[in-house]
Amino acid sequence: MSADPLPPAARPDPPDPDTDPFGWLEDVVGDESLDWVRQRNEHAQQALGGADLTRTRAAVREVLDSDDRIPAVSLIGDHLYNFWRDAAHERGLWRRTTPDSYRSEDPAWETVLDLDALAEAEDESWVWHGASVLRPTPEQLAAGEPWRRALVDLSPGGSDADVTREFDLVEKRFVPAADGGFHRPLAKGGLAWADEDTVYAFTDLGEGTTTSSGYPRTVVLWRRGTELTSAPVVYEGSTDDMAVMGSRSRTPGFERDLVRRSIAFYRSETYLVEGVGTPGQELVRVDVPLSAETGLHREWLTIELREDWEVDGRTYPGGALLAVVLDDFLAGSRDLTVLFEPTPSTSLVGGAWTRHHLVVTVLEDVAHSAYTLTPPDLDAGDDTRSPWARGDLPVGGELLTVGVRAVSTVDSDDVWVTRSGYLEPTTLALATVVGAGEEPREPEVLKTAPAFFDASGMVAEQHFATSDDGTRVPYFVVGRSDLVRPADGSGPGTAPTLLYGYGGFEIPLLPGYSGTVGRAWLARGGVYVVANIRGGGEYGPSWHQAALREKRHRAYEDFAAVARDLVARGVTTPEHLGAQGGSNGGLLAGNMLTRYPELFGAVVIQVPLLDMRRYSHLLAGASWMAEYGDPDVPEDWDFLQTFSPYHRHDPAREYPPVLLTTSTKDDRVHPGHARKMAAKMLAAGQDVTYYENIEGGHGGAANNAQAAHMAALAWTFLHDRLS
């Protein structure tokens, strides 16, 4: 086992000891750093350990390990595959069953890969990162050949860096490298099937083959039985890019080779590769705005816009979804069909293709709905400019999140439909998408998750706060009715209330059932609040762009406005109100601490960014400069320092109690952010509790036991400080 959790390309530039007295804590596995971590972990255990922590951890672990959870499945050949963790399988099982068996109350599962056994045999703490399976050719399927070849991604301890190994689904074993099996060494990147003897490889191939963020910048075509380092280059990006990758679409009749170049977040290029791997290889760029996202399905190209696009005398708005026949587009046509156009209150969640239809999911004031679109039948002679027929998909509901995923984009029009609400356990249903004019079929409910807490007497509501610039900011409130709806004239409520947020990277926070939140917080008299602040994706790209870079303060003003609104409505008081966020949300929570300490009685900051002067020099930080700015550019540092909690910290100021948590093996957001902030506050004599999990990567935990412990620490801290 390697003592260093970071690949060489991800090791940070050293800090300046003259300007950062706590910079030594950036040495992830240095003896001095780890001694400090062990001391702080021991302090956290002493401060929070006890009967409450033990009970909460057990309650959370019971949810995470429950056999009654819904097994999420993917159809591969004749089987439904699922990855599963429980008390008996802490690393997890990759397993499969038949569709008929899955419909039963007690499906018969066949183990394909046992990660616990593998971890023990190899003395490595493997964490599942997923698998991709090669679709057989039509000729192979007609001959009855099975789906056999898989690429399995495994991470040591949960880091983003992982390995890829070829796996035989029939013999249920890894294919040894000595027998020609594909094995990718530890790095950030991956492999993608081209055919049964060829893969696209995008990974660390040695000096100069990764970006400044530690991701691959080179795509090669690796043939079975050859050395990876000698594979021919298909595409080479820039060191300043974010990452590149290659893939092959194997839809019969529409096989295509693709390279995607991520220049930065929200800026990318897609290339069609003609004659891949031959001397005459040519890359043809799909000529859409760099900020747009493209999708391919059979003959169709879809374009999701983030910004307005003026083309051929027409302007298509940011947030719109467009479609065109790919070959026509490549030939110069810009006769685009608008499939979705946003309004001030609506935004596109996404589109899911089945064989014949596109399911479009939309948010309206953060409420889900879905409908179907059927493109013109070009095989039947329809004009490419014919309208897409719209149909219904009866899957919506009040304050519910609806997820729609195709069972197969090649073979059927069935979709998996999940529904979940704060007080409504998740259901999984199977629906068949039909054409416009046909009566939509009620989805067949296959599985319903259990209720992990008693929700009787509880309500979930949506409210709106007004931010400093007059913007209406939605938020959800969940809890007992008498706490969420305090009686008029009764005075301020004192319910312990947790306000959670994220506000970045165009990611929306949506309603969803959490047995953990229910057991550890709601059932114990807490109120749970989720703020849909700017920077997220609740109202599409414009909502995100409203808090980019020098406008970042708007996200923090939005969150503070929700906090004030909760107090104004009599739900709670600042002494009983907590703030929580992780990753970019950890930066949010850090700004709540340093900008608005008077609004909160406790703050939980998890796997956070906090030092915005150093962030772009640490691990994947350089890839986020489109979101935050470049601290090495003086004009950018002028605004970055205004939301850098590490620099905003005032040793003489009074702050609410803080819990800071991170992971030693987080190779995305460097653990030095949390370490240094804790050390700085401790040196000022402030109330800080710090805990660092040795495993877990950016998720903070590598298995259910660790996840339960990390969650219990946060809930115990909040109960102790806010009740």
Chain centroid to Cα 665, Å, comes to 18
**DSSP for residue 534:** B
Q: Is the pLDDT of residue 11 over 50?
A: no
**Pairing relation of β-strands 602-606 and 658-663?**
parallel
Q: Which domains does the chain have, with CATH numbers?
A: 42-61+452-722 (3.40.50.1820), 67-123 (no CATH), 343-449 (no CATH)
Q: Which residues are paired to 123 by β-bridges? A: none
> How far is 197 from 185, CA to CA, in rounded Å?
18
Sort 488 into a burial class: Cβ within 10 Å, 0-12 / 13-18 / 19+.
Answer: exposed
Residue 17: what pLDDT? 61
For residue 313, with 0-12 CB atoms within 10 Å meaning exposed, 13-18 middle and 19 or more buried, which class applies? exposed
State residue 106 phi and psi, 5-degree precision.
Answer: -135, 80
Q: What single-letter amino acid sits at 131?
A: A
pLDDT tens column, 102-158:
999 999 999 999 999 999 999 999 999 999 999 999 999 999 999 999 999 999 998
Q: What's the full length of the chain, in residues?
A: 723
pLDDT tops 80 at residue 605: yes
End-to-end CA distance of the chain: 44
- Band of pLDDT at residue 384, cut at 50, 70 and 90: confident
Cα–Cα dist 501/588, whole Å: 7
Q: How many CB atoms lie within 10 A of CB 634?
A: 8
Q: What phi and psi, each to the nearest 5 degrees, are found at residue 264?
A: -165, 175
Q: What is the pLDDT of residues 246-283, one digit of tens each?
A: 999 999 999 999 999 999 989 999 999 999 988 899 99
Taking the C-alpha atoms of residue 288 and residue 272, their distance in angstroms, rounded to an integer, is 13
Kindly state the average pLDDT of the residues 569-597.
Answer: 97
166: nearest Cα among 135, 132, 125, 140: 132
Instruction: State the pLDDT at residue 14.
Output: 65
Cα–Cα distance, 413 to 368 (Å, whole number): 21
- CA gyration radius, the chain: 26
* Interval 160-198: pLDDT, tens: 999 999 999 999 999 999 999 999 999 999 999 999 999
Question: Is the model's pLDDT at 682 over the cut of 70?
Answer: yes
In order of 104, 117, 450, the CA distances from 109 in angstroms are 12, 17, 20
Please tell me the predicted confidence (pLDDT) of residue 488: 56
> What's the average model confidence in pLDDT over 488-507?
86
Q: How many CA atoms lie within 13 A of 685 on its CB side?
A: 3
CA-nearest of 69, 90, 55 to 712 is: 55
Residue 487 pLDDT > 90: no
Q: How far apart are CA 256 and CA 93, in angstroms?
A: 33
pLDDT, averaged across the chain = 94
Q: What is the C-alpha to C-alpha distance for residues 326 and 249, in angstroms, rounded to an integer?
A: 14
464 and 531 in contact (C-beta within 8 Å)? no
Per-residue pLDDT at 548? 97
| Cβ(468)–Cβ(561) below 8 Å | yes
Residue pLDDT, tens place only, 301-357: 999 999 999 999 999 999 999 999 999 999 999 999 999 999 999 999 999 999 999
- Please count the CA atoms within 13 angstroms of the CA of 130 that sit on its side-chain side: 11
Q: In angstroms, rounded to a whole number, what is the distance separating the alpha carbons of residues 43 and 48?
A: 9
- Given this model, what pLDDT does residue 2 score? 35
135, two tokens: 């679709």
pLDDT at 472 over 70: yes
Would you state the pLDDT for residue 695? Answer: 75
Residue 368 identity: H
The pLDDT confidence band at residue 3, using thresholds 50, 70 and 90, is very low
12 versus 218: which is more confidently predicted? 218
Residues taking part in catalysis = 583, 698
Q: Compute φ and ψ for 7, nearest 5 degrees.
A: -65, 155
- The per-residue pLDDT for 5 is 39
Helices vs. strands in the chain: H and E counts, helices first: 16, 39
Asked whether the beta carbons of 524 and 719 are under 8 A apart, the reply is yes
Q: Helices 672-683 & 31-48, crossing angle to 10 degrees?
A: 70
| pLDDT greater than 80 at residue 13 | no
Q: What is each CA distance from 267 to 288, 291, 506, 588, 628, in whole angstroms?
A: 11, 5, 13, 24, 15
Q: What is the pLDDT of residue 203?
A: 97
Strands 577-582 and 602-606: parallel
Q: What is the pLDDT of residues 424-451, one digit of tens each?
A: 999 999 999 998 778 888 889 999 999 9
User: What mean pLDDT do residues 578-590 have?
Assistant: 98
For residue 141, the SS3 value is helix
C-beta separation of 41 from 692 below 8 A: yes
